[in-house]
Structure 1
Amino acid sequence: MAATLFASHYSGTVHTLTLDGSSLSISNTIEACGGMPSWLTYDAPGKTLYCSDETWIFGNGSISSIAVADDGSLTETANAPTIGGDVANVLYGGDDGRSYIAIAHYQTSTVSTFALPLSADAPALQSFTYAMDEPGPNRYRQDAPHPHEVLLDPTGAFLLAPDLGLDQIHMWAIDAATGNLTECAPVATEPGIGPRHGVFWTAGAAADAATTLFVANELGNSVTAYDVAYAARGCPALAARQTLSTFPGGGAAPSGAKVGEIRAAGAFLYASNRADRSFDPDDSVATFALSDAGAMAFVGLSSAHGSYPRTFAVNAAGDMLAIGDQTSSEVVVVARDAETGRLGDVVARVPVGEPGTPEAEDGLSAVVWAE
């Protein structure tokens, strides 16, 4: 049975992809999501894509809603202006858990929220803008606060945002009825480590049982595991427990390498390494095995089958992983062994748009499964 994916390209396009056996093809393309589509979230029950536009220098960014028809065709239904520099979004709140959307704005040091459904003139519900007195240890990359993602905790009651510039993890308590966020105390990370993206992982059946937050550190080329402790009242506490390199033997990263995305699937964790050329000229994806307590053990590197794996996603069945290689601008689907966690051969691949320029904001920007 064919599977559907969605991909975005920094040139201003959003695509529907069809995976049928060993064939991956583009089945629909629209110009949408402003000038720099950067992130996709798929709302399966609502058959809607939410796309963030990273534009910030030559105008505002935007957040778009895109309706997905049964045949995979796409129609942009709303585009609301934002403060700009949008790099990630997540749905939260309401009775259905998808009545509001939060956005991380990297270049403008802000996290904002909007009520759904979007309208063209929709104002932000809330905005949280951060500042710093002086640059961080990495003066070039940590010149200002840079929230890089927003993610929802397993209980649906809290939002978090890793801030690469501040070396902090911002946290908010959610009022599900109104969508309003109340700030919790931020969590400090190791100085200079540059937290980028995160993923929650829960070992037990209960949402708050043995919960671990894994954070991909872009500047540290590492992953940190945080124990998550929920209180009867108030915000959860995060305690750093373990940090491992995304390279074999805990070794240093190749010059210029940067951790990208992080995902968990079953008892395994994956983090992409951009510009490491471990499979020259291709970059890599690191695999970690997770114990019942959430302790990480490095398993190995697999090829990203392209350059600059900005994004990747595991399908619901757990037997495939779709890699979005930004600079080579290609979606590559590889096999995944759900028992061992190991990534296998290429199932299918397809170029999406024009290739990008190394270290530039162009090329392929996001890929998600239609699940």
Structure 2
Amino acid sequence: MPSKYSLLAAGLLHATTVLGASQLIASHFTGNLYSLTLSDNNDLSITSQTRSGNFWPAWLDFDSQSNTLYVVDEANWFPPNGVTTFTVAADGSLTQNNDGQTVTSGAEVHSTLYGGNDGRSFLALAHYGSSKISTFQLPLTSSSRALQEFTFRLSGPKSNPRQDAPHPHMVVPDPTGRFLFSADLGDDQIRAYAIDSATGLLTECPATATNPGDGPRHLVFYNDCNAPSAIFVLNELSNSVGVWNVDYSGACPSLALTQTISTFPENVQAPQGAKAAAIQERDGFVYVSNRRDRSFGQQEDSLATFQIGISDDGNVELDFIEATSAHSFFPRTMQINAAGDLVAVGGQTSATVAIIERNATTGLLGDLVASVRVGQAGTLDEENGLSAVIWVE
């Protein structure tokens, strides 16, 4: 693999000015949605503000084919709870669909499209607070009802107080479109389901246990024809990434853990209260956000960059490259744009959207391109402040 220093040297050749206006959307735990524009001279500004239509918008999912935005509701104590949908205009402005809110059991923190001929005919929801996964047929209306609900119980006693119950934190289809995976922070499980593409119905596969106390939060797939299939699982509680080999030879996928690597540099312990949050894979690199590590200041956390390689025994592995500033406090979400040259980071407690340069060749993260405050600042370790940010592409 290239050394950190050769990558850094190559990164110096990349210009810091990014041209071309772009649209983003951010959500805030106060119930507001914000449309943002990054201008061709790198001015990031809020262009409009819209009520989300639910109590606690925690995640944003954009379908570029239909220009539909899905907004989930993490709250489950002020019914009705549920998903609201918006049509996104070319300028990023939002219009709530007339069909209204789709009532769910609430407490969802993540959503994903899956199934059908187009891979986007159904919606799956991860319900953190109510320990379940549910699915819906699209399009959503106010009268939509769940196709299926899977409710979980703890597989055994846990020592971490965060693991008082199963807490599914993410649902996502794999690159084949045949299976849906979920990371369960509360039960240290990676769950998998076989997808009936025509009906959207899921058939539960055997779950895979992670290391005790890992608290898997999010996961991303690695799909390279020159490498084994692999999943990178971000463990919030242990501040680590698990690399799992995926075997598709059976009716259900089987997983084998081949590496666990810290989200911090070698010989650096995770600071007290640090919580890994977001993970992205792009062009042979993996990026992770570290919340509350304060590596770059009292209110400035870090992003970790890894390079993907192949170990001597033929498994996919990660090599820690560097830690860089997240230019925000408590970075809950991040997303790389389609061009691969910018990363949007949503600082929950700082309530900021930071746009950071990314070298598409070396994979290194660079300078801060732009930043803007979005709504009121949050309170550390509380569910307030900025909840998510996405590119509208």
- TM-score by shorter chain over 0.5: yes
Partner of 2:277: 260
Runs of at least 4 residues off by over 6 Å:
none
Is 2:380 the counterpart of 1:331?
no
Per-residue deviation at 1:276? 0.4
Which has the larger displacement, 181-190 or 8-17?
Answer: 8-17
Partner of 2:230: 212
The answer as to whether partners of 2:55 and 2:78 remain within 8 angstroms in 1 is no
Partner AA of 2:135 in structure 1: T
Equivalences, count:
366
Runs of at least 5 residues in structure 1 that lack an aligned partner in the other structure: none
Partner of 2:118: 96
Partner AA of 2:27 in structure 1: S
Which of 178, 196, 199 lines up with 1:175 in the alignment?
196
Runs of at least 5 residues in structure 2 that lack an aligned partner in the other structure: 1-19
User: Aligned partners of 2:216, 2:53: CA distance in 1, in Å?
Assistant: 26
User: Aligned partners of 1:211, 1:316: CA distance in 2, in Å?
Assistant: 23
Identity percentage of aligned residues: 49
Partner AA of 1:149 in structure 2: M
The answer as to whether partners of 2:125 and 2:133 remain within 8 angstroms in 1 is yes
Is 2:89 the counterpart of 1:69?
yes
Partner AA of 1:178 in structure 2: T
Partner of 2:164: 143
Is 2:212 the counterpart of 1:191?
yes
* Aligned 1:1-371 pairs, distance under 5 A: 1-20=20-39, 21-77=41-97, 78-132=100-154, 135-138=157-160, 140-204=161-225, 210-231=228-249, 233-281=250-298, 282-292=300-310, 294-371=316-393
The answer as to whether partners of 2:72 and 2:82 remain within 8 angstroms in 1 is yes
Aligned to 2:101, the other structure's residue is in SS state strand
User: Aligned partners of 1:203, 1:174: CA distance in 2, in Å?
Assistant: 22
User: Aligned partners of 2:260, 2:316: CA distance in 1, in Å?
Assistant: 12
Aligned to 1:248, the other structure's residue is in SS state coil
The answer as to whether partners of 1:33 and 1:52 remain within 8 angstroms in 2 is no
The answer as to whether partners of 1:33 and 1:62 remain within 8 angstroms in 2 is no
User: Aligned partners of 2:127, 2:273: CA distance in 1, in Å?
Assistant: 24
Aligned to 1:148, the other structure's residue is in SS state strand
Per-residue deviation at 1:70? 2.4
The answer as to whether partners of 2:274 and 2:290 remain within 8 angstroms in 1 is yes
* CA offsets 1:234-281 (integer angstroms, 9 cap, x no match): 111111110000111053200000100000011110111000001112
Partner AA of 1:137 in structure 2: S
* CA offsets 1:212-241 (integer angstroms, 9 cap, x no match): 10000001000000011111x511111111
Q: TM-score, normalised by structure 2?
A: 0.91
CA-based RMSD: 1.3
Per-residue deviation at 1:71? 2.7
Partner AA of 2:244 in structure 1: Y
Per-residue deviation at 1:294? 2.8
Instruction: Tell me: CA distance 1:290–1:188, structure 2 relative to 1, closer, same or farther (3 Å).
Output: same
Per-residue deviation at 1:134? 5.1
Aligned to 1:141, the other structure's residue is in SS state helix
Q: TM-score, normalised by structure 1?
A: 0.96
Which has the larger displacement, 19-28 or 325-334?
Answer: 19-28
Aligned to 1:193, the other structure's residue is in SS state coil
User: Aligned partners of 2:155, 2:278: CA distance in 1, in Å?
Assistant: 29
* CA offsets 1:160-188 (integer angstroms, 9 cap, x no match): 11101110011100011001000000011
The answer as to whether partners of 1:226 and 1:241 remain within 8 angstroms in 2 is yes
User: Aligned partners of 1:269, 1:60: CA distance in 2, in Å?
Assistant: 38
Partner AA of 2:241 in structure 1: V
User: Aligned partners of 2:163, 2:81: CA distance in 1, in Å?
Assistant: 22
User: Aligned partners of 1:335, 1:310: CA distance in 2, in Å?
Assistant: 18
The answer as to whether partners of 2:33 and 2:49 remain within 8 angstroms in 1 is yes
Aligned to 2:134, the other structure's residue is in SS state strand
